[in-house]
Structure 1
Amino acid sequence: MSLTERICKCPTQLRMRLDGPTQTSLHVAEERISKISEGEDKGSKKAAKEIVCAANQVFAVLEIVAKVYPPCEAAVAIFKVVVNLELGRRENNEQIAVICHSMTRMMYVIHHLAPVIDREGLEESMRKSFETELAAMEALIKKFGEFSSLYYKHKQITFRLIFSKNYKERLEGFSKAFRENKEKFEVLISSCTARSVEEIRGDVKTLSEDVHKVISMLGVMNKKQKGAMDYIMKHGGPERVAEDHVLLGKVAETFGETIDGPLRKAIQDDLESLLEKNRAHAERKIKEGAAMVLEAIRASKDAILTRLEAGPHELIEDPDIREIWKGVVAFGLSISPITYPTSRVIDLTVVLQRWGMNVKSRIFVDTIHDHFYKKFCTDKEDNDFWTLNILSKIVYHGNLSDAIDDDGSGFLSVREVNDFLKDRTRADLKWSVPQWLAFWAAGWIRNNVLYCHRIDRLLDDINFALASVREDNKGHLNTSNYLGILSFVRPIMTDSIGHGNEIHFPGPSHELHRLQSQFSRHEKDRIARKLSSMEWKLEEEGSLIEALRGGSDATGRRIELSIMCLLTLLLEHHRSIAVDAQTHIVDEDAFCNMRHALLTVFYAFHFRMVDLVLGWKQQRKEIDPQISCFAGGLYNGWYERIKRPNDALTQLRKLWHLESDAAEHFHSAVDQLSGQVALVQTQLDRMESLIRSRLPVDEDDHEDSMTDVEPSPTITEYFPARRARKATAGERKLDEGDPEHRAKRRRES
């Protein structure tokens, strides 16, 4: 019996197993919406995120239906992509979140198809009606995805203030359309089953009212925004102010924003025109994401049976890696110790254990070498024998482990291993598995060192070119702002690379160099094509993910894998514009795009680091050693910089001019934080001075004395109790000779 037939036998039972948790998740989200509508959770980004997260449970139900009813696949895939794009944002807007929930409620009605699918002989006309409604849902979700992409693209308060009326009307339209589509589908389901529409609909009577209230909040303004809107209306309304550079600048000054060329043009456009201009970009993201979701849905049909009927190793696609997982990891077969040419002896019996769907990355990487060593010993003519020189060296194992382990947890899942191996075929390099492993163990970090040297030269070239731009360009290009952003390249990236990465290669290196050159050439061509198709604009994190997706990173979210290549390409493009500015008049938009591109890269890099650090903290790991080693220590320079007072991240935010929709609170928050930091610093200074006064000092060598003093193990050594500080000379003498006496006196104090 085929998988589809087997699943079709019980879609209702599968759905019912997940129905309870899904309903709970939806009701929790609706409670959040109700609180926001009453003003309790207003402004809470956490609440907005939780509302969108309700869709995660719905995915599990809809994917079951999609597996057995293919007409659902496209709508489910588009829905999942749009929600995932929303979940991937650092901050979610409340109004967009509640419309996402309306969309989720509309899509959840599809799960009622389960009993319909169970029935034999469904009329052809009814099938066509279902397919028509599903196509309408797909088109509507796609339009909403395009709108939300534009909404998050322009985060400036000035822009959103001028477009607030248009946004509000558009969101009301989506809410109504999602509700109407849901009701149509419910009627269709009711006509095929014995259930009434009211029974299918459930208890969601007040949801539309709460959604309407939350959308209405889009027009609610704080004191500063209200003052700005009064100014706009006093001077002829949004359309009039948008056309006047001076008036628009006055409004922007209220929020500490700067109106550059691209933003000014966007404000002067109407909403339909902006949506049309952004459509190609949004469609490309949705289309690529939907293709990946569809592939996953279809591939998972076979995976379900495999997981039920065999061990986890059967889910691994490459035969060599599958053999490793099966023979050594999954079943714990007895293996004798093996002696290698490098005189390294490993007793593999120590690592025998019944691993399930996750394994320790360190042990797994060790085992990879063992497998290929035995394989190559039987075939001395194998062209990949040279890779053992790399795979046998522990110094390279961390690099290989990090390349596979996308969350830095120290454990590998079947999905991570399969994704890593699929990247080899996506890159279309026609490499063997050992070559792919050897490159990520030793070649990738060396490519980064080469990129680092290239970036250093590009930075010098750009600074030199911008020092002598044409006189006509000096007034409008604002090169100082760009150079301020450019100055972050070294502390964020290049300061972490090149130190300790020039490891001696054991054996002939020409094969590794060949792989490095091939990969570098392929990666640069791939990313350059993407950037060129996007006109070298990286206005948001979604654009960056789109530029990096494919090749060595299927998702585009592991920025550390490709960031050095990306930066090299961006800076080469920026250098050509800077050189052009020496002899030709350059449009202001070009420099605005250059600034935004770098800032987008820096912020994505920062938040990827934050995600990794949070994961390590949850595992109770020490952060400093992890940061200094992960991905060759790529994050170490930036991590050290942001720990300092007046950290580099705050400076970077100032250069971006209030990047979030809550940006009007940013400066006051920074001022408040600065005050707290100043207070803490004062207290630390007092503590330090107190500590210094209590530490023994060599009067003959006062300047060097602090370096020779060992810190005391307890705080009482620095801050003894009041009575202890007034100890007599006799007591102090007893303290020095008898530690127990000293401890007793302190307890009494």
Structure 2
Amino acid sequence: MTGTNSLGAPPKDSKEEHLDRLQEDVEHSLKLLAEHLATIPAKRTLGEAQKVADEIINIGDDVLKFVEVLTAMHPTAQIVLGALAVFVRVYKLHSGNDIGIVVVHKHMLDAVTCIRILREIEGPDDELFKLLQVTLEEMASTIKAFGTYVDAYHAYWQRPYKLLLAHHNHEKLKHLLETFEEHRAALQRMLDVRIAKRTHSQLESLSAAMAGIKVNTERILAHVAKLERNEHPEATDFISKHGADEIAKDDGLLATLGALLNEKITQTMKETLRRDFSELLDAHSRHFDMKVEHAESTLLVAIDSCQSRLSRQMSKGHHELIDNSEIKSIWEDNHWQSSVKCSVFVEALHVYYDARFRKHYQENSMLHQDAWTVDIFARATYHSAIGDMVDQDGSDLISASEMNWFSAACPEGWSAAQWFALYYRRIEEFTIDKDIEDGIRGHTHAGNGKSDDWQTLHDIMESLGYLLYVQDIDDLSEAKVPYELRVLQEKYREREIKAITDRLEKLDYHLKNDSDVAAVAGSRRPELHVMCLFYVLAQRLHDAIKSSLHAHLVGWHPHISDLRQIEDIAQSCLVAFFAFQARMQELMRGWRSQGRNIDLQIDRYADGLFRNVRHEGPRCRNAAETLCRVLFHETPSRYRKLIDVMIRSSQAQQLNDLVVQVAALSETVERLKQLLSDQHERGSKRTELLDNDRDPKHTYIGDGHTQAGGYKRKLDKAAVQAVPALVRLGESPH
């Protein structure tokens, strides 16, 4: 009997058929991509052409899947798989697509797809085997070079960079296109030798398609270059007149170009533009290597074990998806499927470790070294904080993959119980030291010099203060914490600071985009590391400011290196802040889709560490916009949407606060109405009794009764008027 078995796994004899289907899918996807790109020459503006590129997402996933399956059958392809997997991973870290890069990306995938020649190679003794190995090694090297270039291109995203480096970028893209075409042609020649007759017609049609794509590529790049010139005609004419290299060397010409583009020319930008382009790429390659190391450590391990783990899951149960042996036992004992609710999981931790440590005591007559963790797992108040550290998407569910990611981050030598217990409450050890905070705030007013440089420093400090110290967290220094946990917290603090400091040094303490933040944090969850990141950056900033302030006190201007360092750190703080805000918006979208109260979720998330994200929104937004003007002259488009979201979030928070106030006022009014109603009823009864007795005080009580009724009518009217008035106030943008 053919087809899939009862467990859904394909029979062994269908591997080649499965690969055939994947190959057909890849060729179909690449054909659609070529047709999509072919529409660009008809676009009239750069914005219209850019929309075509923005619609192209995950273009490498199908090819990567094909190469994964091919590598499982032909391990020789492993070198290409490793390079491609890392490239796809790092490529996705960047928020936008550039048309030229997408075109080269397409050529790269065309070349990679041709490694299907491996299906025709009979083994190491084949006469083409060594030649194929050399070609695959060269292709892997070119893929890495392309990845380095893409990362550098996105790092230097401001318009002065784009225009002044345009000729270098064009030459680099052209070189990459030609190199990938050489790799594709070499593999194609091998296919021509070995291809079977049954696919000869397919080969001819594919070769014709490749020739057509090459022609279209030249048209696309030429048209995009024309649209880019039309986008900034005055700046383009200015560059044509004076020359890009000459402008880069001259401060006055750079200032004029900045004015034409409405961009701030920073000291960092000047020094970058004056470096040789090849040196710039070489220097950036070291930065890219750090991202590659992080991607390889997480991605390739997952690729190697994916298929075997999936087969174990299908044959034995979902617990086989779990890497950690202790968590695997918990998963199996509770018969969980692919995910489990956070609170249920933490309670299961309590049950498991309580039984395990009791048994240890009975057998050894001494407490287990991690016995103190049971008390933490037993308290429901800590369950959400622990669950948040594992739950990556904020769904309140822990999946097997999320659990594996969390377990993989466990420091060497730590037990799983210790790793979970560490997060029972927010980690407050990364708050900025008071002497550093006071020093930075003090320097804000100390450097009131008359020069533009000192005004820049003053504006940077004034804005950064609100970003770095917005977290008004409680002082938990007097809280009772087990000694063992204090030791772990200190070890974690030292480890985290060292890791982030080492990564920041590799990037020269200059974060340019979200991918840099992810690389330095070692995670796509900046909220887990942003406090430590700010802590390290604040220390570095404090030292740089002290140096500049000393120069100012003795009558000098800030040293250029100090000014550049402060600008770089300020941009790093801004980029980290926006990465954190984007992550919080992502979590809020998830919570909103689940119908949760956003304010309550933020208030309790990570034990309340970020509870002021919305309450302090207006102040942070203003500070971020000011810092953008100092560094970039205006808020860049890549941050504009996030700023707008912060504005809407702030308005929503204000409206929510007003609704709460209205509800509280309405409740107060209702209580007053009830009190007056009771008073009115008692007055009526007393009046009736006095009337019966013909008491002379009847008139006085009657007047009081009438007066109470008047107050009640006024309160009724006030309550009716207060609610719509406050709601209208909440709808105001101010």
Both structures adopt the same fold (TM-score exceeding 0.5): yes
Q: What is the rounded CA distance, in whole Å, between the counterparts of 2:340 and 2:315 in structure 1? A: 20
Match of 1:571 in 2: 538
Q: What is the rounded CA distance, in whole Å, between the counterparts of 1:706 and 1:25 in structure 2? A: 68
Match of 1:541 in 2: 514
- Of 229, 249, 257, which residue of structure 2 is paired with 1:243? 249
Match of 1:526 in 2: 499
Match of 2:583 in 1: 608
Q: Which secondary structure does the structure 1 equivalent of 2:265 belong to?
A: coil
Name the CA shift for 1:530/1:314 in 2 (closer, same or farther; >3 Å). same
Shift of 1:638: 2.8
- Tell me, yes or no, if the aligned pair for 2:248 and 2:254 is still in contact at 8 Å: yes
Q: What is the rounded CA distance, in whole Å, between the counterparts of 2:634 and 2:16 in structure 1? A: 47
Structure 1 residues 75-86: aligned runs within 5 Å: 75-86=80-91
Match of 2:458 in 1: 480
Shift of 1:647: 5.9
Q: What is the rounded CA distance, in whole Å, between the counterparts of 2:640 and 2:273 in structure 1? A: 23
Cα displacement string for residues 277-326 of structure 1 (whole angstroms, at most 9, x for unaligned residues) = 22221233224423433322223353243234221101212222111111
Structure 1 residues 354-503: aligned runs within 5 Å: 355-380=336-361, 381-424=367-410, 427-428=411-412, 430-442=413-425, 445=426, 447-448=427-428, 450-452=429-431, 454-455=432-433, 457-469=435-447, 475=453, 478-490=456-468, 493-495=470-472, 497-498=473-474
User: Structure 1 residue 638 and structure 2 residue 613: aligned?
Assistant: yes
Match of 1:36 in 2: 40
Shift of 1:619: 3.8
Q: What is the rounded CA distance, in whole Å, between the counterparts of 2:231 and 2:39 in structure 1? A: 25
Match of 1:142 in 2: 144
Match of 1:152 in 2: 154
Letter in 2 for 1:459: E
- Tell me, yes or no, if the aligned pair for 2:339 and 2:399 is still in contact at 8 Å: yes
Letter in 1 for 2:390: I
Structure 1 residues 696-711: aligned runs within 5 Å: 709=719
Q: What is the rounded CA distance, in whole Å, between the counterparts of 1:378 and 1:77 in structure 2? A: 45
Cα displacement string for residues 343-378 of structure 1 (whole angstroms, at most 9, x for unaligned residues) = xxxxxxxxxxxx422222222222121111222222
- Tell me, yes or no, if the aligned pair for 1:156 and 1:659 is still in contact at 8 Å: no
Q: Which secondary structure does the structure 1 equivalent of 2:340 belong to?
A: strand
Cα displacement string for residues 236-278 of structure 1 (whole angstroms, at most 9, x for unaligned residues) = 3222222221111011111221111121122223322221222
- Tell me, yes or no, if the aligned pair for 2:76 and 2:133 is still in contact at 8 Å: yes
Q: Which secondary structure does the structure 1 equivalent of 2:443 belong to?
A: helix
Which protein has the larger Cα radius of gyration, Structure 1 or Structure 2? Answer: 2
- Of 248, 273, 281, which residue of structure 1 is paired with 2:279? 273
Shift of 1:63: 1.0
Name the CA shift for 1:488/1:14 in 2 (closer, same or farther; >3 Å). farther
Cα displacement string for residues 578-626 of structure 1 (whole angstroms, at most 9, x for unaligned residues) = 1222334532222222222211211211221222233334444443333
Q: What is the rounded CA distance, in whole Å, between the counterparts of 2:534 and 2:717 in structure 1? A: 41
Name the CA shift for 1:186/1:662 in 2 (closer, same or farther; >3 Å). farther
Q: What is the rounded CA distance, in whole Å, between the counterparts of 2:310 and 2:278 in structure 1? A: 44
Match of 2:234 in 1: 227
Match of 1:88 in 2: 93
- Of 598, 603, 609, which residue of structure 2 is paired with 1:628? 603
- Tell me, yes or no, if the aligned pair for 1:49 and 1:87 is still in contact at 8 Å: no
Q: What is the rounded CA distance, in whole Å, between the counterparts of 1:7 and 1:125 in structure 2? A: 32
Match of 1:351 in 2: none
Q: What is the rounded CA distance, in whole Å, between the counterparts of 2:524 and 2:156 in structure 1? A: 22
- Of 539, 556, 574, which residue of structure 2 is paired with 1:599? 574
- Tell me, yes or no, if the aligned pair for 2:447 and 2:458 is still in contact at 8 Å: no
Match of 2:127 in 1: 125
- Tell me, yes or no, if the aligned pair for 1:67 and 1:297 is still in contact at 8 Å: no
Letter in 2 for 1:59: L
- Tell me, yes or no, if the aligned pair for 1:41 and 1:47 is still in contact at 8 Å: no
Match of 1:104 in 2: 109
Q: What is the rounded CA distance, in whole Å, between the counterparts of 2:219 and 2:614 in structure 1? A: 42
Match of 2:703 in 1: none
User: Structure 1 residue 208 and structure 2 residue 191: aligned?
Assistant: no
Match of 1:736 in 2: none
Q: What is the rounded CA distance, in whole Å, between the counterparts of 1:423 and 1:603 in structure 2? A: 24
Match of 2:177 in 1: 175
Shift of 1:633: 3.5
- Tell me, yes or no, if the aligned pair for 1:52 and 1:83 is still in contact at 8 Å: no
Shift of 1:200: 5.5
Provide the alpha-carbon RMSD of the alignment: 3.9
Letter in 2 for 1:624: D
Q: Which secondary structure does the structure 2 equivalent of 1:487 belong to?
A: helix
Name the CA shift for 1:267/1:186 in 2 (closer, same or farther; >3 Å). same
Fraction of identical pairs, as percent: 21
Letter in 1 for 2:471: T
Q: What is the rounded CA distance, in whole Å, between the counterparts of 1:7 and 1:297 in structure 2? A: 21
Q: Which secondary structure does the structure 2 equivalent of 1:573 belong to?
A: helix
- Tell me, yes or no, if the aligned pair for 1:241 and 1:247 is still in contact at 8 Å: yes
Q: What is the rounded CA distance, in whole Å, between the counterparts of 2:225 and 2:637 in structure 1? A: 13
Cα displacement string for residues 517-548 of structure 1 (whole angstroms, at most 9, x for unaligned residues) = 11111111222222233332223322222222
Q: What is the rounded CA distance, in whole Å, between the counterparts of 1:484 and 1:185 in structure 2? A: 59
Name the CA shift for 1:245/1:186 in 2 (closer, same or farther; >3 Å). same
Q: What is the rounded CA distance, in whole Å, between the counterparts of 1:635 and 1:212 in structure 2? A: 50
Q: What is the rounded CA distance, in whole Å, between the counterparts of 2:616 and 2:184 in structure 1? A: 51
Q: Which secondary structure does the structure 1 equivalent of 2:461 belong to?
A: helix
TM-score (norm. length: structure 1): 0.77
Q: What is the rounded CA distance, in whole Å, between the counterparts of 1:514 and 1:476 in structure 2? A: 43
Q: What is the rounded CA distance, in whole Å, between the counterparts of 1:434 and 1:198 in structure 2? A: 61
Q: What is the rounded CA distance, in whole Å, between the counterparts of 1:666 and 1:714 in structure 2? A: 33
Name the CA shift for 1:707/1:323 in 2 (closer, same or farther; >3 Å). farther
- Tell me, yes or no, if the aligned pair for 1:482 and 1:594 is still in contact at 8 Å: no
Gaps of 5+ in 1: 1-5, 331-354, 550-555, 689-694, 719-749
Moved more, 480-489 or 251-260: 480-489
Q: What is the rounded CA distance, in whole Å, between the counterparts of 2:369 and 2:278 in structure 1? A: 59
Name the CA shift for 1:291/1:435 in 2 (closer, same or farther; >3 Å). closer
Q: Which secondary structure does the structure 1 equivalent of 2:128 belong to?
A: helix
Gaps of 5+ in 2: 1-9, 362-366, 552-557, 663-668, 674-706, 729-734
- Tell me, yes or no, if the aligned pair for 2:44 and 2:227 is still in contact at 8 Å: no
Name the CA shift for 1:241/1:534 in 2 (closer, same or farther; >3 Å). closer
- Tell me, yes or no, if the aligned pair for 2:100 and 2:221 is still in contact at 8 Å: yes
TM-score (norm. length: structure 2): 0.79
Shift of 1:112: 5.2
Q: Which secondary structure does the structure 1 equivalent of 2:512 belong to?
A: coil
User: Structure 1 residue 261 and structure 2 residue 267: aligned?
Assistant: yes
- Tell me, yes or no, if the aligned pair for 1:313 and 1:322 is still in contact at 8 Å: yes
Letter in 2 for 1:97: V
Moved more, 526-535 or 125-134: 526-535
Name the CA shift for 1:633/1:645 in 2 (closer, same or farther; >3 Å). closer
- Tell me, yes or no, if the aligned pair for 1:95 and 1:218 is still in contact at 8 Å: no
